Amino acid sequence: MAPLFSLLNRLLPFATPGTPLVQDLIHLAALCGLLYYGPQLQEWYRKSQADPSHATNDDHAQPADETVHADNEGANQNINADAEPTDAANQAEAQPPPNAQANDNEDPGANPEAPDPAQPGPANQPNLPAHRNVGAKKAKSLARRDQKRAYHEFQRAQGEAQRARDAEGSEAREAAQTAEKERRQAAEAKLEKQKAKEREERRERERKGREEEIRRRELVVRLVREQLDEKRMCDLFRVAAVVGEDVDEEWVEGIVEASGLVGRKGDVVTMVTGMGWAVRVARADVERLYRVAVEREECEEDGRVGYDALGGLLEGILKEQ
């Protein structure tokens, strides 16, 4: 029996090894009965609680029914009211008033503002909300909201219109942009070609200028050297006149000095005088100059020979040779 009791104690969730088996079985039977009859008891309790609430609901629902009934009666009254003028109109048509003859003689368009009963009323009449009074703060808030909504609607409409215009003229704009791009490229190519031509012409002018400068320098040096070799003196003013092209004797003098013609080489000295002459003088010429000066007694009062006298004597000596 002990294994059986142990197995039952394990199967019963609320049983403990210290309690009697009979007590556990009683608890099990009570639990099973409660689980079986519990839903039925709950349903019965719900039905018993639903009876007074149903009565209360009927009391609360009565005004609604009365309201619906009143609405139905109002609708019936409206229908009857609409029907009554129709019946009255029919009776009026059947029995014309005494002044019907006078009305027949009147112009039918005398009262154009009178409503025409034959014309139907507006279809789908909007169900407008009832007007209600709002405060100043609420009115300002509503006005601001309407302004914002109108502003956003305006911006949206402008954007859509702009997008529509962009979409319509996109091909034309692309073609115009392509043509403008090609035109700019052609203009840039033409300008670059013109600049290249100008650079080439400038280089050519500079090259010719350098060649002309070299030619003139060589011509000056050649003429001065030939005159010095032949006559041992050269007039730089005449050389400048031969070269031409706005050349003066100062420029010729600079070329002569830069070419190395001026200076001392052994017993020969080549120099440029203040009067614009290039002169080549040797030691023998100076010795003869002194002898001629002594023989001609070119001395001044103080016993000295002036530079003017020496220059004249030297010129005569050079010309003789």
**3-state SS string for 138-186:** HHHHHHHHHHHHHHHHHHHHHHHHHHHHHHHCHHHHHHHHHHHHHHHHH
Distance CA 102, CA 89 (A): 19
Residue 288 counted as domain residue: yes
Residue 318 counted as domain residue: yes
Full-prediction pTM beyond 0.85?
no
The residue-averaged pLDDT of 237-260 equals: 86
Of 218, 210, 209, which Cα lies nearest the Cα of 261? 218
Q: Which of 53, 70, 86 is the last residue of a domain?
A: 53
At 37-94, the pLDDT tens digits run 888 888 888 888 876 544 444 444 444 444 434 444 444 444 444 444 444 444 444 4
pLDDT of residue 15: 64
> What is the rounded average pLDDT for all residues in the chain?
74
Residue 181 counted as domain residue: no
Q: Could you tell me which residues are beta bridge partners of residue 305?
A: 299
Domain count, the chain: 2
Tokens of 67: 């309201």
pLDDT of residue 128: 54
Distance CA 171, CA 86 (A): 68
Q: How far is CA 215 from CA 183, 212, 222, 244, 255, in A?
A: 47, 5, 10, 12, 12
Tokens of 108: 């039918």
Name the region of 245 (left: φ>0; alpha: ψ -120 to 50; beta: rest). Answer: left
Look up the domain containing 275 and give its range: 262-321
At 157-171, the pLDDT tens digits run 999 988 888 777 777
Residue 133 counted as domain residue: no
Band (pLDDT 50/70/90 cuts) for residue 137 is confident
Amino acid at 69: H
Band (pLDDT 50/70/90 cuts) for residue 271 is confident
Of 262, 266, 267, which Cα lies nearest the Cα of 234? 262
Distance CA 169, CA 71 (A): 62
Pairing of strands 263-265, 233-235: unpaired
Residue 8 counted as domain residue: yes
pLDDT of residue 286: 80
Tokens 């502003």 -> residue: 151
Buried b (16+ CB within 10 A) or exposed e, 132-142: eeeeeeeeeee
Residue 237 counted as domain residue: no
Residue 278 counted as domain residue: yes
Collapsing DSSP to helix, strand or coil, 240 comes out as helix
pLDDT surpassing 70 at residue 207:
yes
Amino acid at 65: D
The residue-averaged pLDDT of 186-214 equals: 94
Greatest extent of the chain over all pairs of C-alpha atoms, in Å: 185
- Residue 4 near residue 12, CB atoms below 8 Å: no
- pLDDT above 90 covers a percentage of the chain that reads 17
Residue 98 counted as domain residue: no
Collapsing DSSP to helix, strand or coil, 199 comes out as helix
pLDDT surpassing 80 at residue 102:
no
Distance CA 296, CA 171 (A): 108
Amino acid at 124: N
Tell me the DSSP string of 40-79. HHHHHHHHHHHHHHHHHHHHHHHHHHHHHHHHHHHHHHHH
pLDDT surpassing 50 at residue 277:
yes
Tokens of 280: 């080549």
